[in-house]
Amino acid sequence: MNMRKKAEGTMIIAGIIGAIMVIFIIIPIISMFIDVGISGFIRAAGDRSAMKAILLSMIAAVYATALSALFGIPLAYFLARKKFPGKKLIESIIDIPIVVPHIIAGIALLTVFGRHGVLGAPLDELGIRIADSMIGIVIAMMFVSAPFIINSAKEGFESVDPRLENVAMGLGASRTRAVITITVPLCMKNLLVGAIMTWARAISEFGAVMIIAYYPMVATTHIYTEYLHSGLETSVPIAALLLLICIIIFVILRTISARWKRYDQD
């Protein structure tokens, strides 16, 4: 009985501390929404340049997520299934974009993809412009967000017993077919969560995008420019609108992920 009371007391304390953290996160959001009001949202939604920047952010984030999944998921599978010298080094390299300041990430990307960069210069001569283009935006977003889907997919692949693939291959399936038909469905929740976090991180990126592709403006650079030129009066409604759109999309995607998890359990 005493043990149960102690456990309940611990849970109450944890709940109170957790509530403080939730309040800390939600208060600035609610405060901004109240400050903007319905009229502010309507005004921001009627701003063509703002809506164009928000739409560009969403499209670029989708491209960045798709490319991150295309190249990152196979890498995650390889890391989950293989042991080799230097594996820890590769895993550390993958996490670098998470810890490095994103202004520095943008400068590093510029040395490669800028007009005078290692790849940017020859591509520019061929008429392929990366800096200050949609391609540059996607590259910047992909660089800072790809680790999320790689790490989440790797965790999912590690949770699936490799013997299941071996059984399928013993019955005549190729490894590729075994992975697609057995492993991927079993870790789909991890793949979905990784994709959601990758998209969310991509659309919120500012520093790297600002350095390598200030134009055309995405939502974050547009908000920053409005803040510099007009202060909070103009920038806050656009920021609030972007935040509201992202929250709605994020909740929808999270709901889909949760339903997928229940479907797998059933």
Q: What is the pLDDT of residues 113-137, one digit of tens each?
A: 988 889 988 988 888 889 889 999 9
What is the rounded CA–CA span in Å between residue 211 and residue 9?
A: 50
**pLDDT at residue 156 is higher than 80:** yes
Mean pLDDT, residues 49-56: 93
pLDDT digits (tens, 9 = 90+) for 63-108: 999 999 999 999 999 999 988 899 999 999 999 998 899 899 999 9
| Stretch among 29-38, 55-64, 166-175 having the lowest mean pLDDT | 166-175
**pLDDT at residue 2 is higher than 90:** no
Threshold 0.85, pTM exceeds? yes
**More confident site: 5 or 236:** 236
Amino acid at 212: I
Tokens of 261: 């998890």
Which residues in 50-63 are b (16+ Cβ under 10 Å) and which e?
A: bbebbebbbebbbb
Q: Which of 143, 147, 139 is nearest to 79 (CA)?
A: 147
pLDDT of amino acid 164:
85
Residues of the chain with pLDDT > 70, as a percent, come to 94
Alpha carbon distances (Å) from 2 to 6, 8, 13? 6, 10, 16
What is the rounded CA–CA span in Å between residue 179 and residue 171?
A: 14
Looking at the chain, list the stretches that DSSP marks H as alpha helix, in order from N- to C-terminal side: 2-45, 48-81, 87-99, 102-113, 120-125, 134-159, 162-170, 175-178, 184-186, 188-203, 207-212, 219-230, 232-265
Residue 102 CB neighbours (<10 A) = 19
- Give Cα 211 distance to the centre of its chain: 19
pLDDT of amino acid 61:
96
pLDDT of amino acid 171:
80
Task: Kindly list the structural domains of the chain, giving each domain's residue range(s) and its CATH number in brackets, ordered by start.
Answer: 49-158+188-265 (1.10.3720.10)
pLDDT of amino acid 96:
92
pLDDT of amino acid 254:
76
**pLDDT at residue 1 is higher than 60:** no
Which pLDDT band, with edges at 50, 70 and 90, does 218 fall under? very high
Residue linked to tokens 């590690």: 158
**pLDDT at residue 265 is higher than 70:** no
What is the rounded CA–CA span in Å between residue 187 and residue 164?
A: 13
Mean pLDDT, residues 205-232: 91
